[in-house]
Structure 1
Amino acid sequence: MTAGNSQSRLDDENYPAYTMGRAAEILGATPAFLRALGEARLITPLRSEGGHRRYSRYQLKIAARARELVDRGTPVEAACRIVILEDQLEEAQRVNEEHRTATESRRTADA
């Protein structure tokens, strides 16, 4: 492995760098909480060659949002659904903004 390859993995928020234990520690949660998020299909950890769950920084960010909701009394399944809907809304807003910008650019070019 080259140093450049190693650095790119550190920069990649989707690289599955964290073990279940470390991910739970970072979140201040239990491994059971992470398994529940997986069962609710909020996050799907990759597996190491030995079959151990591995989580990315992006997955930890999503899990942290679910943890906030659960800490406020939201059931895990509902928290997962909320996070999924928030993500879908954010994506739809991004696409709409791109479409609006492209439409405005065409109007300016046609004027």
Structure 2
Amino acid sequence: MSSPLGPFGPPSPDAAVYVISVAAELTGLHPQTLRAYERMGLIAPGRTGGGGRRYSHRDLERLRQIADLTSAGIGIEGVRRIMALELQVDALRARNEELLAELEAVRHGLAARAAAQSAAPANKLPVLHQSVGQSVVVWRRGT
């Protein structure tokens, strides 16, 4: 198993390194509150071989977010729903970036193909015309 410390720097955001007392102090929450949030399924700290809780930097950020939402008057179920929706938004953003990169690669390939066709002897295949307002539809085989 690798060390939570990187070879040349601080631990990764997901490295479970903070004991509960340190996590409580860094978030301004009571240790019992951290345990309660774990029982509610809002947080899932890492565990040592002996069963002790270890929190990561990402866990601390999540705990701070929970504290901010509850102090704004949002109930635990509301917090749970907000956090689930934020995860969905993050996943959709990542997927959107993937699709945009794929679309750009397809456009680049089509432009290269059009340039090659214009340099090659004429054939009977349709010519790609690009103009403002046209759309490109990319069909993919099932994955």
Letter in 2 for 1:17: V
Question: What does residue 44 of structure 2 align with?
Answer: 44
Q: Distance in 2 between matches of 1:34 and 1:80?
A: 15
Letter in 2 for 1:59: D
Q: Distance in 1 between matches of 2:84 and 2:61?
A: 13
In the TM superposition, structure 1's runs of 4+ consecutive aligned residues that sit over 3 Å from their partners are: none
Q: Distance in 1 between matches of 2:4 and 2:78?
A: 37
Question: What does residue 96 of structure 2 align with?
Answer: 96
Q: Distance in 1 between matches of 2:70 and 2:97?
A: 31
Q: Distance in 1 between matches of 2:4 and 2:83?
A: 31
Which has the larger share of helix?
A: 1
Relative to the length of structure 1, the TM-score reads 0.83
Structure 1 unaligned regions, length at least 5: none
| 1:1-111 paired onto structure 2 within 5 Å | 5=3, 7-8=5-6, 10-111=10-111
Counting matched residue pairs gives: 108
Q: Distance in 1 between matches of 2:29 and 2:106?
A: 49
What is the identity percentage for the equivalent residue pairs of Structure 1 and Structure 2? 32
Q: Secondary structure, in 3 states, of the residue corresponding to 1:11?
A: coil
Q: Distance in 2 between matches of 1:55 and 1:29?
A: 13
Q: Secondary structure, in 3 states, of the residue corresponding to 1:96?
A: helix
Change (3 A) 1:79 1:99: same
Letter in 1 for 2:58: Y
> Which structure has the larger Rg over C-alpha atoms?
2
